Structure 1
Amino acid sequence: MAKSKDFPLPVGRYAKLDNGLTLHYLDIGTGPIVVWLHGSGPGASGFSNFKGNYPAFDKAGFRNIVVDLPGFGRSDKPADVNYDLAFFVDNLKLLLDNIGVDRCTLLGNSLGGAIALGFTLDNPERVDSLILMAPGGVEERETYFEMEGIKRMVEVYGQGPMGVEQMRQVMSLQLFDPGQLQDSLLEERAAVAPTQPANLFTTMMVPNMTERLHEITAPIFGFWGTDDRFNPASGTFKIVENAPNARFTVLNRCGHWVQVEHQELFNRQCLDFLREF
């Protein structure tokens, strides 16, 4: 099993939470706070998801808290918990309490988007705005498991430890153009994946929050690719039709990772959105 020191990921800061877990995060820049919440999948981490994005936010005058969620990256990976939405939301709250963040913008991709929605529903007074990229939490679990990308991930993960080539089989479906996949990204994720416990994925339960979206009054700006093979792009309309202050950019020839495939557009539109407040 790989040790944390062997991960090809930058080392940032560690926070020991009141529940005993230690979470790792990068803390880059000064100014209004953006908390970055990555998606799920074998080997995922905050850096791997957002390395091409948070530096632009830093240059624009924002403080960036790039989190490794529990079970991912350099954070603790307990094998005796249920990795459901409440678990992630509770640990995010404990982390923000620990590092003294009272209010922030939550920026989340996939699972991270679901966590952003769940946290906002529980703690509306702490969220200035949300930026979402193909967020989870707006479909039933069965719908996600019918998606080609989820099926491929389950199939390959079930075959045993994922090396670089096995990771490529899954990650190629994240993008409309898999030619944009960098070997360094695959190596980062392949190094982390063997350290993740099986219960991370078997207990990962995220409820459908569509019927509660009307409770979120904070501004929401989102992105979705029409060629997403992990989360159905129809989720766009569930959010804009139910959340009173939401708008989305929908991109063709784009998969699940808009922040990677359309990096400059994503960075520019997000910063324009944040400057409105």
Structure 2
Amino acid sequence: MNATPTESQHADAHGNAQDKSRSAPPTLQAPKGIFTEVPGGLTLHHFEAGSGAPVVFIHGSGPGASGFSNFKHNYPQFAAAGHRAIVVDLPGYGASSKPADVNYTLDFFVSALRAQLAANGIGRATLLGNSLGGAIALQYALDYPDDVDSLIMMAPGGVEERETYFKMEGIQKMVSLFTNRQMNRLTMRQLLELLVFDRSLVTDALVEERLAVCEQQPPEVLSTMRVPNLTDRLGELKCPVLGFWGTDDRFNPASGAMRFLEHCADARFVLMNRCGHWVMVEHRRYFNRECLEFLAEQHAA
């Protein structure tokens, strides 16, 4: 693959989103990561924890997004339960390359992820993705069914027409602010508060963490992003699907859950009220527990 993984220190990132059932957790710091050169001149970043059956964490889109930012409260529990947690930064996000001369299409993301995983010897795995990451996981499973054990998705994209998504309050706000280069501490906070039901989860540390990445992102990351409606292909999925959706989601309509239940051979979805677009952040304990039970079932079968 002409890929060369090298170990390097990931840029410091901090977050302390609070679970209401416990006291505020200590500040978390991103672990050391691996940078992999893949065809097309991209350098892609990921980090790992644990060993065992691999689970690939694929984050969503948006200003300042990264694998660590999205999954800092999840991957340690997966690793502790005996899984190899692989947390990627997509092209245009986190510590990965952020080219301005490409189109950020679903095929582009899937191709980049495929090259990144292959270069690091990661074969058959469970793919876990939220929003755009869910759409990438879905397309990957359709393109490479023999390499996907199961899918875990939170409010995945790719099951509505583009016009439907652009009617959502969160999408409209995100595209307007980012493509017009209006991101600052205030607007970043406003945008992040649209992602969650409980605004107290949006801390100063989270705002700073996202801004640090956002300042490096070209507008093309969102302006050229294209995700087709894959609803008609859901019946082709060969792997089991576990999904989560917040009914207060202001980015992806929760009605998308029914697309999977109506078309997939083996799918279960959990709908949660008082929850926005970030199930894995807003209800992290429940999310982690349900995912690990699902994976245990699959491996015992």
1:204 alignment counterpart? 225
2:63 alignment counterpart? 42
Equivalent of residue 214 in structure 2, options 178, 184, 193: 193
Give how far 1:5 is off.
Answer: 7.4
Equivalent of residue 79 in structure 2, options 54, 58, 68: 58
**Alignment map for 1:247-262 (pairs within 5 Å):** 247-262=268-283
After alignment, is 258-267 or 176-185 more displaced?
Answer: 176-185
CA distance in 2, matches of 1:226, 1:58: 29
Equivalent of residue 8 in structure 1, options 13, 17, 24: 13
2:193 alignment counterpart? 172
| Number of aligned residues | 274
CA distance in 1, matches of 2:11, 2:78: 28
1:20 partner letter: G
CA distance in 1, matches of 2:238, 2:179: 41
Calculate the aligned-residue CA RMSD, in Å.
1.4
After alignment, is 128-137 or 183-192 more displaced?
Answer: 183-192
2:119 partner letter: N
Does the aligned pair in 2 maintain the 1:7–1:191 contact within 8 Å? no
1:181 alignment counterpart? 202
CA distance in 2, matches of 1:71, 1:157: 13
Closer, same or farther in 2 for the Cα pair 1:159/1:83, shift >3 Å? Answer: closer
Give how far 1:212 is off.
Answer: 0.2
2:151 alignment counterpart? 130
Where in structure 2 are there 5+ consecutive unaligned residues? 1-8, 15-29
Does the aligned pair in 1 maintain the 2:125–2:150 contact within 8 Å? yes
CA distance in 2, matches of 1:184, 1:214: 42
| TM-score when normalising by structure 2 | 0.88
2:53 partner letter: P
| TM-score when normalising by structure 1 | 0.96
**Alignment map for 1:1-277 (pairs within 5 Å):** 8=13, 10=30, 11-276=32-297, 277=299
Give a deviation string over 1:154-193, Cα, whole Å, max 9, x none: 2322442522221101010100111121221111111110
Where in structure 1 are there 5+ consecutive unaligned residues? none
SS at match of 1:275: helix
2:17 alignment counterpart? none
Closer, same or farther in 2 for the Cα pair 1:211/1:5, shift >3 Å? Answer: closer
Percent of pairs identical after alignment? 57
